[in-house]
Structures are given as structure tokens and as C-alpha cells.
């Protein structure tokens, strides 16, 4: 009889039978591992496993619930397996899950990046038998320039804008990118006005012990404080944030900025910089190769990336764009063709 799969799919999403936990499931009975507190990874499950920081951020978004909070690199017994959290470098508290059982080692990356993040210990590529990895930027279009170069371009844009007597508006997601941006802005010496909901999440970072360096300062947005300051807001603030702030110039921070269509996608912005909290294409490929995994499942992205890994001789399959949403949990984007995966699916479907 074949051993049980290291990871399977239930109606609720990805499930680890040996540990009896779901991975980033939107809802599920029992326990869900929450890799980080972005809203598409939060859960309504009664019990969560995550870092202390993710538990606090998750409580702010989805109310507090029973939480097993783990430090990085501290194995925790869970059913017939142990779960160990590894830094994912994506947001404050973000973690990969490394789950060991008698049948092998599984790693679930959640969202991650291998580049520096001032709010995370460095993320490393874990070794495992089965790897479930995100592939948001799994196309050769998405090769990000070095962070130093991108930050230099951001600072140049801000300096030019302030020199014109105008207001620079930096658009970044409220959790993760927003705090990374604020960290670099205050460290560079800018005084920043932060819009909600980013400001509330910055407060929570400070409460958790993760502050923002000087010599610059930050405070909540007030329009009468504008002269000489940088505004930090979310892309969803409004279609054209400059409409509210006269003589503003806008820069958006997003990995999608590498797309040749970015100038049309972000036509309201004066500049789009591919500053991202995800791994870029080269780091995704490096992760797949250096993990040593005999089976790789990709999620949160295009099936094209798994096809690329197969072209390199790796055993890879795309599972679903959103495996943590019940409506996507039972879907597969292509036929299962690898013997190992076929064995796993026959068990999953039983
Ligand atoms: Zn995320």
C-alpha cells in the first residue's frame, strides 16, 4: 500500500494528513497554519498555528482566536508530525512551514522572498522531499533589479518632487510593503504622513517591538501637514490619489511594474517601481532547484511556471491559483501526469 501523501487537498484547501492541519485555508475545521496575515491567507478556522507576530496581525484583521504561536526554528509536535516555522521574508511574522513525518519532509513556502526585509530574519531555501511553493512572479518578465538600485530611484523621484515644491505620494499595500517603504523612507530622513489602514498596522508593528528608524519621522496623514512631507498610502486609496492633493506626483511600488503593460495598468502613476515582497522569477527557480524536492507543487500564480520547471527536468505541477479558497481547492489546472502525483491524487480523491 502506498504511503499517505505528504500534502493532499480537501474541500477546504491544502491539508497535511500527518499533522492534520490545513495550510492557509480560508476556513477549515480544526487547525490551520497561517503563513502570514495578508487577508487572502487569513482564516476563520477555530485554531491557528503561526508566529507571535502573525497572530497579532491576524487578530486585528479577523478577530482573536486560539493560536499556537511558535518561534522560528522551534519544532512543535503536531499529530504524527513536527512542524517548524522558517522565516519567509515576506511580511512581519511571515513563515514557511517545514513539516517532518515518517513519510518525509514537506515545505510550504506561503508567500516569500529571499531578498532582505527589515522586519524578517533572512529567508533561506529549505531542503525537503515535497515543496509547495508560491509562484506569483513565475515568468521571466519578472526579474527585479537590485533593491539598492530601486531604492535609489525611489529617493531620486522623491527628491525631485520635493524640489519642485510638490508632494510625493508613495503607494504600497497596507501590510508588509507599506512598512518596508516607511522603514526606508524614515531611515533616509524623510518625514512621512501615513494614511489608514497602513498607519494602524505601523502602530501594531511598533507595539510588537518593530519600530521605524530615524532621522525621519512619521505620523498619521493630515492635509495641513503636507508641505515638505512624503505621503504613504495604499493603491486602493483612490483611483487618482493626486486628485486630493494638489501638485502631487505618485509612485507605486509593485512587482507588476516589470510587466511591459505596467504603464497602462498604472497609468495614473508618474512612476512604477518593481519593489516587491515576493520572490522574483530567478529566486523562484533557485528555490525549486536548491530545495532538492522530488515533487514540487506550485500555487498562487500561473501554470506556466510549473511547466518551466518541468522543462528543466523537475517534477512539478501547478495545483491552483488560490488553493486556500474552497471554490479553488478541488481544481487542478492540468492533467496529473507524474506517477508520484497520480498516486497522491488517487488517495486525495478517495
Ligand atoms: Zn502575502
Residues 269 and 311 in one domain: no
27 in a structural domain: yes
Q: How far apart are CA 144 and CA 272, in angstroms?
A: 12
Distance 148 CA to ligand 1 centre (A): 22
Instruction: Write out the residue range of the structural domain in which residue 313 sits.
Output: 8-141+278-348
Domain match, 132 and 152 both: no
Asked whether residue 95 is assigned to any structural domain, the reply reads: yes
More confident residue, 245 or 278: 278
Distance 111 CA to ligand 1 centre (A): 5
- The rounded distance, in Å, linking the Cα atoms of 210 and 230 is 21
CATH number at residue 229: 3.40.50.10890
Q: What pTM did the predictor assign?
A: 0.90
What pLDDT is attached to residue 237? 74
**What local confidence, expressed as pLDDT, does residue 345 receive?**
28
Locate all alpha helices (DSSP H) within 21-96, ordered by sequence. 52-62
- Is 177 a member of any domain? yes
Q: What is the pLDDT at residue 335?
A: 32
Does the structure show a pLDDT above 90 at 1? no
The answer to the question of residue 2 being in a domain is no
Residue for cell digits 492534520? 20
- Binned at pLDDT 50, 70 and 90, residue 155 comes out as very high
Looking at residues 35-55, what average pLDDT do you find?
94
Q: What is the mean pLDDT of residues 183-193?
A: 98
**What are the pLDDT digits (tens) for 136-154?**
999 999 999 999 999 999 9
Strands 76-78 and 66-69: unpaired
Residue 103 Cα to ligand 1 middle (Å): 29
The alpha carbon of 83 and the centre of ligand 1 are apart by a number of angstroms equal to: 20
pLDDT at 238: 63
- 58 and 121 in a common domain: yes
Read off the DSSP letter of residue 255: G
Rounded to an integer, what is the distance from CA 270 to the centroid of its chain?
25
> Is residue 88 assigned to a domain?
yes
- Look over the chain and give the mean of its residue pLDDT values, rounded to a whole number: 89
Instruction: Report yes or no on 17 lying in a domain.
Output: yes
Residue 1 lies in a domain: no
Residue 294 and residue 259 share a domain: no
Written as nine digits, the cell of 171 is 503607494
Interval between CA 38 and ligand 1 midpoint (Å): 5
Q: Determine, yes or no, domain membership for 332.
A: yes
Q: How confident is the model at residue 240 (pLDDT cuts 50, 70, 90)?
A: low
* Same domain, yes or no: 137 and 12: yes
Please indicate, yes or no, whether residues 77 and 161 belong to a single structural domain of this protein.
no
CA of 174 to the centre of ligand 1 (A): 11
Grid look-up 478517495 returns 350
pLDDT-derived band at 268 (thresholds 50, 70, 90) equals confident
Convert the pLDDT of each residue in 302-343 to its tens digit: 999 999 999 999 999 998 766 666 555 444 433 333 333 332
Amino acid at each position: 500500500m502506498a504511503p499517505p501523501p505528504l500534502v493532499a487537498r480537501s474541500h477546504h484547501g491544502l491539508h497535511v494528513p500527518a499533522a492534520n492541519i490545513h495550510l492557509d485555508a480560508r476556513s477549515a475545521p480544526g487547525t490551520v497554519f497561517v503563513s502570514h496575515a495578508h487577508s487572502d491567507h487569513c482564516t476563520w478556522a477555530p485554531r491557528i498555528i503561526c508566529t507571535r507576530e502573525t497572530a497579532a496581525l491576524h487578530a486585528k484583521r479577523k478577530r482573536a482566536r486560539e493560536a499556537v504561536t511558535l518561534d522560528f526554528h522551534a519544532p512543535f509536535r503536531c499529530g504524527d508530525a513536527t512542524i517548524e516555522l522558517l522565516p519567509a521574508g515576506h511580511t512581519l511574522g511571515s513563515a514557511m512551514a517545514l513539516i517532518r513525518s515518517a513519510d518525509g519532509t514537506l515545505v510550504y513556502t506561503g508567500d516569500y522572498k529571499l531578498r532582505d526585509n527589515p522586519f524578517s530574519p533572512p529567508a533561506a531555501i529549505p531542503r525537503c522531499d515535497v515543496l509547495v511553493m508560491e509562484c506569483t512572479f513565475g515568468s521571466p518578465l519578472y526579474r527585479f533589479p537590485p533593491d539598492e538600485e530601486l531604492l535609489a530611484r525611489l529617493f531620486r523621484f522623491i527628491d525631485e518632487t520635493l524640489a519642485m515644491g510638490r508632494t510625493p505620494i508613495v503607494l504600497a499595500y497596507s501590510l508588509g510593503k507599506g512598512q518596508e517603504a516607511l522603514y526606508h523612507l524614515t531611515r533616509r530622513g524623510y518625514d512621512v504622513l501615513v494614511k489608514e489602514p497602513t498607519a494602524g498596522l505601523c502602530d501594531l508593528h511598533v507595539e510588537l517591538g518593530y519600530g521605524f528608524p530615524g532621522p525621519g519621522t512619521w505620523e498619521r496623514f493630515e492635509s495641513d501637514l503636507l508641505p515638505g512631507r512624503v505621503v504613504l498610502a495604499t493603491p486602493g486609496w483612490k483611483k487618482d490619489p493626486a486628485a486630493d492633493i494638489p501638485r502631487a506626483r505618485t509612485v507605486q511600488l509593485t512587482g507588476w511594474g516589470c510587466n511591459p503593460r505596467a504603464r497602462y495598468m498604472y497609468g495614473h502613476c508618474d512612476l512604477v517601481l518593481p519593489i516587491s515582497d515576493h520572490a522574483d522569477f530567478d529566486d523562484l527557480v533557485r528555490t525549486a532547484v536548491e530545495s532538492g524536492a522530488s515533487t514540487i507543487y506550485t500555487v498562487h500564480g500561473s501554470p506556466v511556471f510549473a511547466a518551466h520547471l518541468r522543462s528543466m527536468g523537475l517534477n512539478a505541477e501547478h495545483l491552483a491559483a488560490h488553493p486556500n479558497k474552497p471554490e479553488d481547492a478541488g481544481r487542478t489546472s492540468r492533467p496529473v501526469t507524474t506517477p508520484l502525483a497520480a498516486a497522491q491524487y488517487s488517495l486525495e480523491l478517495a
